[in-house]
Chains A and B, each alone.
Chain A
Amino acid sequence: MSPDTVVYAARRIVTMNPSRPFATHVAVREGRIVAAGSEAEIAQFVPHGGIDMRFRDKVLLPGFVEGHSHIMEGMMWSLPYVGAFERRSPEGRAVAGVPDIDAIVARLREAEAAIADPNATLFAWGFDPLHIGGEKLTREALDRVSTTRPIMVLHASFHISVVNTLVLERTQLLHATDISGVVAGADGRASGELQGIAARLRAFRLVGNPLSELLTMADVQRYASSACVQGVTTITDLHNDLTDNTLELYRAATQQAEFGVRLVPALASATHPPDKAIEKIVGLRESGNDKLHYGIVKLVVDGSIQGFTARLRWPGYHNGAPNGLWYIAPEELPRLVDLYHRAGIQLHIHTNGDEATELALDAVEKAQTAHPRPDHRHTLQHCQMADAAQFRRMKALGMCVNLFANHVFYWGDSHYELTMGPERANRLDATGTAQRIGVPFSIHSDAPVTPLSPLFTAWCAVNRVSSSGRKLGAETEALSVEQALNAITIGAAYTLNLDHLIGSIETDKYADFAVLEQDPLTVAPETLKDVAVWGTVVGGVVKEAPRA
């Protein structure tokens, strides 16, 4: 018994600890869990039965672990959102989707009116034509917002921008449709859609690049706030060049007692020669704290499936599009994997297409054969098209996988109709296969590409339904609710090599909880995404999510 101990009573505690799966009380001391169990077992940890009853109507789960998201989620919310689906802001506000061009124009007009400086650029983010029936956003639509202020809308993928006529005129791109990234409209002049390096560089030079602004403390705080709103207590920043500015902000933020999330940044391998990257990661490991965990590296092997830049094996893209792009040369990959593997660093390898997955498996096999390393947990990220044979290889090699379950909802229809065709689209993000074969796995949002919300991600993996209502592998690849909750807690913790610290409610782990209004195990599985998040507890510090 210690005076510092707090015992929380809850309607139910779902521990994700198989040896004690459910409880009603949990004792917390010094930010860690003393024990979880029944009232009779746990009351002894506080004198005179002084039990904290604030969660008596709530359901506690281990704090959710988002195994693949980006700090950009914190940066984007300073700009208006123009995606087709509802999304929750860091302030807890439900921002409605804008499902057609008129609604986008209306939202932008509102934002435009709020900017005092008439010359300042209006930026917005989150647009994807695939979500509004293929209708493209054009300069004409943006001219309805303003012909005197520069406007730039970033696609959900962040690889495409749409600008108004003013920007095209000032950059002299209006007639430059011979440049491959300047998309031509019906009149033969630029439509406003800019892709690729040259066109976007020219436009960013005029209006600035919101994606490369120096990270600020406000961005980091917004990221933490979004995490709290969604019940997330550990969040990755899975591709970062980790400049001195970023390192200092992460250090300062995570040392604040009230900072409400644990951060797991991954160094982007492409930003450093491998020897320098290894030196940096090894040095950073020592500089972490309870809420800051360095030590992993991210490699990006190919592009995206819906952008037709993922590398696919035979028979390639369903609509006959040419195969995608390598971001790391196939012969370079084994060398890089081997160097990090030997240095004892955990690799997180982005592979979207199955050809990229195959080469990553080959590279890990080679490294593991040359230099066997127990429990390396190298993790394939996204890995959306892997077949059963590839999952069996992951298992045999001791690898983990983090599947992009949200894709089933957001791009499932595109995958069925355009990119993969029926069979492969049905086994997209094959959570069922991973479960059957026994590959340790997690599921993720890749926020800000799709919304941060582990309960929504779990809903995707349980229901496997696209935004149009098409079921994809619902009979064969869907998870049970319990399996899905496992994937967003202890499963994700395992892929980050933090399962000894977080991911379940059991003795000695951090007191990290997601505080929910309903019990996800008793609601109808179709409504899993609607389970309300009250807030979080991180290291024993209670945080009620902001509501706006």
Chain B
Amino acid sequence: MTMSAPIPFTVIGGFLGAGKTTLLNRLLSASTERCAVLVNDFGEINIDAALIQSHDGTTMSLTNGCVCCSIGTGFLDTLARLLDDIGRFDRVVIEASGVGDPWRIAEIALVEPSLRLDGVVVLADATRIATQCEDRHIGETVRNQFAKSDVVLLSKCDLASDSQREAACAVIGAIRPDVPIEPLSTLTPAHEAVFGRGRLARFRAEPVAETVDHEGGFRRWTYQRAGRFDRDRLAAAVHDLPGQLLRLKGICRVDGDDRAQVFQLVSRNWSLTPAGDATLDVAETIALAGVGTANLPSDHELDAILDRALTAAA
């Protein structure tokens, strides 16, 4: 076997009914890459019939080069066969079982030289996740699924009340204060929501086209400036940000440090860590992307709060 670049490997986790299969279907239908999708359950994926080239019961081949198989109990065997033939694919996506721990599957990419871990994406049903996390029978199972996730995507936000969404963010934030929680919207291309989400994957803070996501009941906000923050004034400004802001993440500079910093804020907890990625050192900019509930104050008000943290030179 020739040594080629490792193939990105993404795990989609989440409890039964969180919307994993729906998301996979969106990914497969729109894929421009040759994806191998393995479903660790007996769930059938409903792909647009026009896309299906062949279907032999367990393996479905799509006209866009993707392949989707359900693996039932033969998980190790099916995966071994896929790895033997990995050169055919640009990407591997695994849908973890609804009661499984997605990290246990993600570790495959850490031991297989032909793979690299692209990210662990865990879905949560916004209407039910708070209840599920407290459930006598399944609480631990559900909570453990978030333990090593890179991002949590909240599904069914359009069906959830404001209080359900807030409870969802609070309960997940309590388990993983550091993990980004994002509404899953059909307006966002599925591959953007799912791929490149790992801590080792490069962070992107592009401006978001739509600022109001009506379907999800969430509002986005992007903050972009040339210059740097003053560390102390940033601390004060973050404290002043409204509670409706659920998450803020991006790249910035702080005075007295030449390295780019990753800024993360989730549920009132925030952190600055050196980005450690040389390609981020090209420009002297601040680029943060936030998500809040629908009643998030205006961009203007939010911009003003963070502007107070900029150094005088900016």
Q: Which of B105, B113, B138, B141 has the most CB of A within 10 A?
A: B141
Interface residues of A in 243-276 (CB under 8 A from B): 268, 270-274
Q: Is there a chain B Cβ closer than 8 Å to A329's Cβ?
A: yes
A273, B44: Cβ atoms closer than 8 Å = yes
CA distance A205 to B74 in the complex (A): 14
Looking at the complex, which one of B44, B103, B108, B141 makes contact with A325 (CB distance below 8 Å)? B141
Residue from the list B42, B44, B108 in contact with A201, Cβ < 8 A: B108
Given known contacts A171-B111, A270-B72, what 19 new A-B pairs fall within 8 Å (CB)?
A172-B111, A179-B107, A196-B107, A197-B76, A198-B110, A201-B108, A202-B111, A202-B112, A204-B80, A209-B77, A212-B76, A212-B77, A241-B74, A268-B73, A271-B72, A273-B42, A328-B99, A331-B16, A359-B137
Q: When A197-B107, A241-B72, A359-B137 are in contact, do A205 and B80 touch as well, CB less than 8 Å?
A: yes
Contact of A327 among B17, B44, B83, B99 (CB under 8 A): B99
Contacts of B113 in A (CB 8 A): 172
Name A207-245 residues within 8 Å CB distance of B.
209, 212, 241
Cβ of A101 within 8 Å of any chain B Cβ, yes or no, is: no
Known: A326-B138, A329-B15. A198 touches B74 (CB 8 A): no
Q: Which residue of B lies closest to A211 (CB)?
A: B76
Q: Does B104 contact A (CB under 8 A)?
A: yes
Range of interface residues on B (Cβ < 8 Å)? 20 to 34
The answer to the question of A464 belonging to the interface, with a C-beta cut-off of 8 Å to chain B, is no
Are B104's CB and A198's CB within 8 A? Answer: yes
Q: How far is the CB of A190 from chain B (nearest CB, A)?
A: 11
Picked from B16, B42, B74, the residue with its CB within 8 Å of the CB of A212 is B74
A332 within 8 A of B: yes
B98: Cβ under 8 A from any A Cβ:
yes
Q: Mark A308-336 against chain B: 1 for CB-CB distance below 8 A, else 0.
A: 00010000000000110111111110000
CB of A279, distance to nearest CB on chain B (Å):
12
What are 7 sample pairs from A and B whose C-beta atoms fall under 8 A apart? A171-B111, A180-B104, A201-B76, A204-B80, A209-B76, A329-B98, A331-B16
Q: Which of B93-111 contact A (CB under 8 A)?
A: 98-99, 103-105, 107-108, 110-111
Most A C-beta atoms less than 10 A away, residue of B17, B43, B140: B140
Which residues of B are interface residues toward A (Cβ below 8 A)? Answer: 15-17, 42-44, 72-77, 79-80, 83, 98-99, 103-105, 107-108, 110-113, 137-138, 140-141
Tell me the count of chain A residues lying within 8 A, CB to CB, of chain B: 39
On chain A, the residues within 8 Å of B141 by CB distance are: 325-326
Residue of B whose beta carbon sits closest to that of A327:
B99
Residues of A within 8 A of B (CB): 171-173, 176, 178-181, 196-202, 204-205, 209, 212, 241, 268, 270-274, 311, 322-323, 325-332, 355, 359
The answer on a CB contact under 8 Å between B80 and A196 is no
Measured CB to CB, the closest approach of chain A to B100, in angstroms, equals 8
**Complex alpha-carbon distance, A141 and B72, angstroms:** 35
- Beta-carbon nearest neighbor of B98 in chain A: A329
Complex Cα distance A329/B42, Å? 13
Check A270/B140 contact, CB under 8 A, given A173-B111, A198-B107, A326-B99.
no
What residues on A are CB-neighbors of B107 within 8 Å? 179-181, 196-199
Give chain A nearest CB distance to B87 CB in angstroms.
15
Residues of B contacting A326 in the complex (Cβ-Cβ under 8 angstroms): 99, 137-138, 141
A197:B42 contact, CB within 8 angstroms:
no
- Which residues of chain B are near A180, meaning CB under 8 Å? 103-104, 107
Once bound together, how far apart are the Cα atoms of A445 and B233, in whole Å? 69
Q: Contact between B74 and A271 (Cβ–Cβ < 8 Å)?
A: yes
Flag if A270 contacts B42 (CB, 8 Å). yes
The answer to whether B76 touches A355 (Cβ under 8 A) is: no
Nearest chain A residue, comparing its CB with the CB of B79: A201
A329 touches B77 (CB 8 A): no
CA distance A322 to B140 in the complex (A): 9
Once A202-B112, A204-B80, A332-B16 are accepted as A-B contacts, the answer to whether A241 and B73 lie under 8 Å apart by CB is: yes
B69 → chain A closest CB, angstroms:
13
Contact (Cβ within 8 A) A329 B111? no
The smallest beta-carbon distance between B263 and chain A, in angstroms, is 27
Whose C-beta in chain B lies nearest to the C-beta of A358? B137
Residues of A within 8 A of B103 (CB): 180
How far is it, in angstroms, between the C-alpha of A178 and the C-alpha of B110 when the chains are bound? 10
Q: Closest residue to B108 on the A side, CB-wise?
A: A198
Q: Please determine whether A329 and B75 come into contact, CB atoms closer than 8 angstroms.
A: no
A356 to nearest B CB, angstroms?
Answer: 10
**Which chain B residue lies CB-closest to A176?**
B111
B137 contact set on A, CB distance < 8 A: 311, 326, 330, 355, 359
Tell me whether A205 and B83 are in contact (CB under 8 A).
yes
A212 to chain B minimum Cβ distance, whole angstroms, is 5
The residues of B that contact A241 with a CB separation of less than 8 Å are: 72-74
Kindly state the separation between the CA atoms of A325 and B113 in the bound complex, as whole angstroms. Answer: 29
CB distance from B131 to the nearest CB of A (A): 12
- Are B98 and A204 interface neighbours, CB within 8 A? no
| Least CB separation from B83: chain A residue | A205
Nearest residue (CB) in B for A243 is: B74
Q: How far is A326 from B100 in the complex, measured between Cα atoms in Å? A: 8
CB neighbours (8 Å) of A204 from chain B are 76, 80
Closest 10 CB pairs of A and B: A198-B107, A271-B72, A326-B99, A198-B108, A329-B16, A330-B137, A202-B111, A273-B42, A212-B77, A329-B99
Please, which residue of chain A has its CB at the minimum distance from the CB of B148? A180
Please state if B73 and A270 are interface contacts (CB–CB under 8 Å): yes
In the complex, residue of chain B having the shortest beta-carbon distance to the beta carbon of A212: B77
Q: Closest Cβ of chain B: how far from A221's Cβ, in Å?
A: 24
Contacts of B72 in A (CB 8 A): 241, 268, 270-272
- Report whether A199 and B16 are in contact in the complex, using a CB–CB cutoff of 8 Å: no
Question: Provided the pairs A209-B80, A241-B73 are in contact, do residues A330 and B138 lie with their beta carbons within 8 angstroms?
Answer: yes
Residue of B nearest to A330 (CB): B137
B111 to A197, Cβ gap below 8 A? no
Chain A residues lying within 8 Å of B140, measured Cβ to Cβ, are 322-323
